[in-house]
Amino acid sequence: MRMFKETSLIFSRQLDRVETLGRYTIVRRYGKMVGLLALLAIAIVFPLVFSNSEETGIALFALIFAAAVTGWNIFSGYTGYISLGHAAYFGTGAYALAIICQVWNVPAGYTPFLFVPVAGLVAAVLAVPVGWIALRVRRHTFVVITIAIFFIFQLLAINLTEQYTTTGSLNLPIPVDWTGDFYNIPFYYASLILLLVAIAISWWVRNSKYGLGLLAIRDDEDRALGLGVKTVPSKLAAFVISAFIVGMAGAIWAYYVFVIYPPTAFDATFDVAFVLMAFLGGVGTISGPILGALLLESTQQYFTSVLTQNGGYYLIAYGALFLAVILLLPRGIIPTLSERWARYQVSRHQSLQEHDAIVTALPTPDGVAENVERKEGINL
C-alpha cells in the first residue's frame, strides 16, 4: 500500500514536471520572440544613435556580409556541401548591377536599389548551369570545384573587363546629394532589408518539407534518395537560392564602393570570409551566420583601419583566427552554446529529481511547501 502511494506520488510529480516544462517552454518561446524584436528595434535605430559615418560604415558592411553568409548557409549549411567559391556570385551581382546601371542609365539615388534584386537574379540564373555541373561530383571534389569555378569567374571578369572597358574597372552611379554622415544611411537600411529578406528565406526553407529534405541530404544523401527525396533538384534549388541572396549582397556592396575592379569584386578573401563567419557562428543554424558575420566583419574593419601599414600581420591574425575557430570551436558559437544550455537544463532537472526523492520520503507540510516553491522557480 505504501509502495503504491510512493510510486503514485513520484508519478504525479513527473506529470507536474512535464507540465511545468511546458509552461517553461512557452515562456522560453515568448522570451525568444521578444528578444528578436528587441534586436530588430536596435538594428533599426542604430544609425540614428551612432550616426558617425565610420560607425555606420562598419555596421553596413557587417549587414551585407551577414546577408551573404546567410545566403551561403542556405546551401552549404543545410545540405552540407561546403562551397568555397560563393564569392563568384557576390562578384556577379556586383558586376550585374554595374552593367545594368550603365546600360540603362540608371540615375544615382534610390533607384539603383530597385535593381538589386535584378542583379541577384542574374547571379541566380548563372548559378543554374554552374550548380548543375558542380553538383555532379561527390562532396570532396565539390569543394575543390567551387574554388576552380570561382577562379573561372574571376578570369572571365578580368578578360572581359579588359576587353570592354578602357579603365579596367566598372563605375556605378554616385549619389552626390547624399552628403556627409547621411551618405551611409540608405545603404545601411538597404542592407538591413536584404538581411531580413535573407533571414526570412532561410527560416522558411529550414522549416519546410523541402528544407527537411536538405537536412536529410546532409546527414545521409543516399538514404534520403532511397526515401524518395529528389536530391538533385533539391540541391540545385538551394544552390540557386543562395546565389540569388549572395548576388544581391554583392550588388549593394558594389553600389556602396561605386568602383569595382575584377580582383575586388571577385575577391578570394570573400570566399574565406563567408566560410569563416558561418563556421564561427554555427553552420546550419539561422542565427549563426549573422553572429559570425557581425563579429568578424566588425573586427576586420577595425583591423584594417589599425593595421593597414603591413598586410602581413593582418593575414597572420586572420589565419590564426581561422585555425582557432576550426580546431577549437568546430561547431560554431551558437550550437556550442545551445548544447551547453541543454546540458545545463538536463542537470537542473536531475538535481530536481534528487530533491524530489528526498521530499517524497518526508511527507511533511514543509516538504510540500518546498516543492511548490521549486515549481515557481522553474516558471521564471
Partner 1 sequence: MSLLDAQGISKSFGGIHALDTCSISVEQGTITGLIGPNGSGKTTLFNVMTGYERVDSGQVRFKEQAITNAPPDKVFRLGIGRTFQLTRIFPRLTVLENMHVAVQRNSLKGLFSRWSSAHEQKSALELLDFVGLTSLKNLPAGNLSYGQKKLLEFAFVLIAEPQVILLDEPAGGINPTMINYLTERIRTLNQRGVTFLIVEHNMEFVMGLCDKVMVMHRGAKIAEGSPAEVRANPTVLEAYLGD
Partner 2 sequence: MLGLIVEAIILGILTGGVYALMASGLTLVFGVMNIINVGQGALVILGAYLSYFLEQQLHIDLFLGLLLTMPFMFGLGLLIEFFFIRPIKRDRTMFSILVTFGVALIIEGILNIIFSANPVQLSAWYITASLPVGGFNLFNFHVGIFYLPFIYVFGFLLAVVLLGGLYLLVYRTKFGFALRASMQNRTAAELIGIDVERISAITFGIGIALAAAGGMAYGATNLFNAGSAYDLISRLLAIIIFGGMGSLSGALIASLGMLVIEDVTTVVWSPSWATTVFFILLVVILLLRPQGLLGKVEVRKQ
Q: Which residues bind partner 1 (CB under 8 A)?
A: 207-213, 215-216, 218-220, 222-231, 233
Partner that binds at residue 159, options partner 1, partner 2, none, CB closer than 5 to 8 Å by kind:
partner 2
SS3 readout for the chain: CHHHHHHHHHHHHHHHHHHHHHHHHHHHHHHHHHHHHHHHHHHHHHHHHCCCHHHHHHHHHHHHHHHHHHHHHHHHHHHCCCCCCCHHHHHHHHHHHHHHHHHCCCCCCCHHHHHHHHHHHHHHHHHHHHHHHHCCCCHHHHHHHHHHHHHHHHHHHHHHHHHHCCCCCEECCCCCCCCHHHHHHHHHHHHHHHHHHHHHHHHHHHCCHHHHHHHHHHHHHHHHHHCCCCHHHHHHHHHHHHHHHHHHHHHHHHHHHCEECHHHHCCHHHHHHHHHHHHHHCCCCCHHHHHHHHHHHHHHHHHHHHCCCCHHHHHHHHHHHHHHHHHHCCCCHHHHHHHHHHHHHHHHHHHHHHHHHHHHHCCCHHHHHHHHHHHHHHHC
Nearer to partner 1, 162 or 339 (CB): 339
Tell me if 155 contacts partner 2 by CB under 8 A: yes
Partner that binds at residue 211, options partner 1, partner 2, none, CB closer than 5 to 8 Å by kind:
partner 1
Q: Distance between CA atoms of 76 and 241, rounded to whole angstroms?
A: 11
Tell me if 376 contacts partner 2 by CB under 8 A: no
Q: Enumerate residues 185-224 that contact partner 2 by CB under 8 A.
A: 220-222
Nearer to partner 2, 252 or 273 (CB): 273
Which member of 27, 36, 227, 316 binds partner 2 (CB under 8 A)? 316
CB-based contact 295:332 (threshold 8 Å): no
Q: How far is the CB of 108 from partner 2 (least distance, A)?
A: 32
Tell me if 314 contacts partner 2 by CB under 8 A: yes
Q: How far is the CB of 112 from partner 2 (least distance, A)?
A: 30
Which member of 28, 138, 343, 348 binds partner 2 (CB under 8 A)? 138
Tell me if 136 contacts partner 2 by CB under 8 A: yes
Q: How far is the CB of 202 from partner 2 (least distance, A)?
A: 21
Q: How far is the CB of 152 from partner 1 (least distance, A)?
A: 30
Tell me if 306 contacts partner 2 by CB under 8 A: no
Q: How far is the CB of 284 from partner 1 (least distance, A)?
A: 9
Q: Enumerate residues 272-301 that contact partner 2 by CB under 8 A.
A: 272, 275-276, 279
Q: Distance between CA atoms of 284 and 30, rounded to whole angstroms?
A: 23
Nearer to partner 1, 138 or 355 (CB): 138
Nearer to partner 1, 331 or 374 (CB): 331
Q: How far is the CB of 350 from partner 1 (least distance, A)?
A: 16
Maximal CA-CA distance, the chain: 96
Nearer to partner 2, 167 or 310 (CB): 310
Question: Judged by CB under 8 A, which stretch of 112-120, 136-144, 169-177, 182-190 contacts partner 2?
Answer: 136-144
Partner that binds at residue 275, options partner 1, partner 2, none, CB closer than 5 to 8 Å by kind:
partner 2
Question: CA of 76: how far to CAs of 83, 279, 299, in Å?
Answer: 6, 11, 24
Tell me if 339 contacts partner 2 by CB under 8 A: no
Entry field: residues in the chain: 380
Residues found near partner 2 in the complex (CB under 8 A): 82, 84, 133, 136-141, 143-145, 147-149, 151-152, 155-156, 158-159, 162, 220-222, 268, 272, 275-276, 279, 310-320, 322-323, 326-327, 330
